[in-house]
Amino acid sequence: MERLIFHVDVNSAFLSWEAVRLVKNGESDVRLIPSCIGGDPNSRRGIVLAKSIPAKKYGIVTGEPIGLALQKCPELMVLPADFKLYAASSRAFKSILREYAPVVEEFSIDEAFLDMSGTALLYPDPLALAHTMKNRIRDELGFTVNVGIGRNKLCAKMASDFEKPDKVHTLFPEEIESKLWPLPVGDLLFVGRSSVRRLETAGIRTIGELGHADPKLLASLLGEKMSRQAYRYANGIDDSPVRAEPEIPKGFSNEVTLEEDVVRDEQAHAVLLSLADCVSARLRDEGYKAQGISVTVRYLNFQKRSHQCMLERATHSSRTVYETSKKLLSELWGDHRPLRLMGIAATNLLGKDEPEEGQLSLFGEEDSAAGRKNEKLDQALDSLRRRFGSGAVKRGASMTVREEVARKYKGKSDSER
């Protein structure tokens, strides 16, 4: 069965979506000047999340610190991120795709795979269909996309990355040699910075060289699994299906880069409480309990460390997550070296309907008096948040970590933000 896969990718998604909103408000189009979306402008630690094409001409790249970008281009306009807007824009964009495609996989907020296999009678000309889709999105929603077409997801995705913006590209098997193999290895999906560095030591610079390399050599450079996947990808081989169903989550995590370095236990515990509140509220909202908790810290030199543990029993209680994370931090942070980042992750999730291994619901945390009290408090806070928004409820630490950290250490109020 020959497949036909599209990959649709919004060009400079966050910036495009912000530009559309500004244009609707009668303002000028920031896509036409050097501009970018850059993290939290109040924190000095933001990075470039999306940039305009004029900004790119200054050598500004996604992921670089805002300060550095401003050095390259002092007149760069930096706009704050607004994830509510992005979620709404993403929905509108994907709902147009669903009008054409029987199976849509939401790969990220601004990317989707469409399985168009077997639609030849309905759409005899796939290229024409791709143009129709991208033009409709552009004309109705005001932003451009790239469409990549191939026989599998990998080729569709690589093709959508070719030339931007507002383009349709194909990467069919007979085009692998001319379109894929000349590209630098780092352009290949899942060949990141570290793999590029290792491949370079063996003189492998292009995707074509990777696709012709000795599998034994690749295994020694990249490891067993990664090397096999890289070799297949380099030759345009990929069997993975387009999945319409979202994956079942494996964990929830929240982490913050702190406005000020944390050196004392009281500061650290305030941050943990806030993070624990976030993570546990997400567990309750999504109907999961965590069997494991992990705490991560990052020092001033960017070195990261983490400690994790398994719980006696699964939990979604903010108190249990908090107390556990305090214990993990104390194991991790004996030296009290200054921290620039802290995070908590809930791991080894159990779904609502998924009973715990063993038979220990006898004197579990929900059954003790203290456990019931904590459960009640969490429920009450959750319902207040649902009614009045996440900013409404504060309890030493609030829903949003950044707010709380700012309040504690800078004495700023919400209105100043």
- The residues assigned a catalytic role are 111
CB of 194 vs DNA, minimal distance in Å: 3
DSSP state letter for 206? B
Cα-based distances in Å from 18 to 77, 78, 86: 12, 11, 8
Of 100-139, binders to DNA (CB under 7 A) are 107-111
Q: Write the DSSP assignment of 294-349 as a string of letters.
A: EEEEEETT--EEEEEEEEEEEE--HHHHHHHHHHHHHHH-TT---EEEEEEEEEEE
**Two tokens, residue 7:** 């990959």
CB of 110 vs DNA, minimal distance in Å: 5
- Which of 49, 154, 339, 381: binder of DNA (CB under 7 A)? 49
User: 376-397 as b/e, with b when 16 or more CB fall inside 10 Å?
Assistant: eebeebbeebeeeeeeebeeeb
Cα-based distances in Å from 118 to 123, 127, 129, 171, 242: 9, 15, 14, 18, 14
CA 245 to chain CA mean position, Å: 18
- Which of 16, 17, 18, 39: binder of DNA (CB under 7 A)? 39
Give the β-pairing of 35-38 and 48-51. antiparallel
Q: How far apart are CA 120 and CA 16, in angstroms?
A: 32
Beta-carbon contacts of 305 under 8 Å, excluding residues fewer than 6 positions away, are 296, 297, 298, 299, 332
* Per CB under 7 A, 412 contacts DNA: no
At residue 40, the 3 state secondary structure works out as: coil
Q: How far apart are CA 41 and CA 57, in angstroms?
A: 23
* Per CB under 7 A, 65 contacts DNA: yes
Alpha helices in 174-264, H assignment, sequence order = 193-201, 207-211, 215-222, 224-234
DSSP state letter for 396? S
Q: How far apart are CA 340 and CA 297, in angstroms?
A: 8
Which is nearer to DNA, 174 or 239 (by Cβ)? 239
CB of 323 vs DNA, minimal distance in Å: 16
Which is nearer to DNA, 118 or 287 (by Cβ)? 287
| Phi, psi (deg, nearest 5) at residue 340 | -110, -10
Count of residues that bind DNA according to CB under 7 A: 57
Beta-carbon contacts of 2 under 8 Å, excluding residues fewer than 6 positions away, are 117, 151
- Which of 232, 307, 337, 412: binder of DNA (CB under 7 A)? 307
* Per CB under 7 A, 361 contacts DNA: no
Which is nearer to DNA, 42 or 119 (by Cβ)? 42
CB of 65 vs DNA, minimal distance in Å: 4
Which is nearer to DNA, 46 or 211 (by Cβ)? 46
Which is nearer to DNA, 49 or 147 (by Cβ)? 49
Q: How far apart are CA 212 and CA 228, in angstroms?
A: 12
- Which of 32, 59, 68, 125: binder of DNA (CB under 7 A)? 68
Which is nearer to DNA, 23 or 78 (by Cβ)? 78
CB of 121 vs DNA, minimal distance in Å: 32
* Per CB under 7 A, 372 contacts DNA: no
- Which of 341, 350, 397, 399: binder of DNA (CB under 7 A)? 341
Which is nearer to DNA, 76 or 341 (by Cβ)? 341
> Which of the ranges 25-33, 40-48, 200-208, 262-270 carries the binding residues for DNA, by CB under 7 A?
40-48
Q: x-or-dash pattern for DNA, window 162-201, by CB under 7 A?
A: --------------------------xxxxxxxxx-----
* Per CB under 7 A, 308 contacts DNA: yes
* Per CB under 7 A, 47 contacts DNA: yes
* Per CB under 7 A, 309 contacts DNA: yes
Of 243-302, binders to DNA (CB under 7 A) are 247, 249-257, 282, 292, 294, 302
Which is nearer to DNA, 49 or 101 (by Cβ)? 49
CB of 247 vs DNA, minimal distance in Å: 5
215 touches 231 (CB < 8 A): yes
**How many C-beta atoms lie closer than 10 Å to residue 278's C-beta?**
25
Question: Which residues form the interface with DNA (CB under 7 A)?
Answer: 39, 43, 45-47, 49, 63-65, 67-68, 107-111, 188-196, 222-227, 247, 249-257, 282, 292, 294, 302, 304-310, 340-341, 343, 345, 402
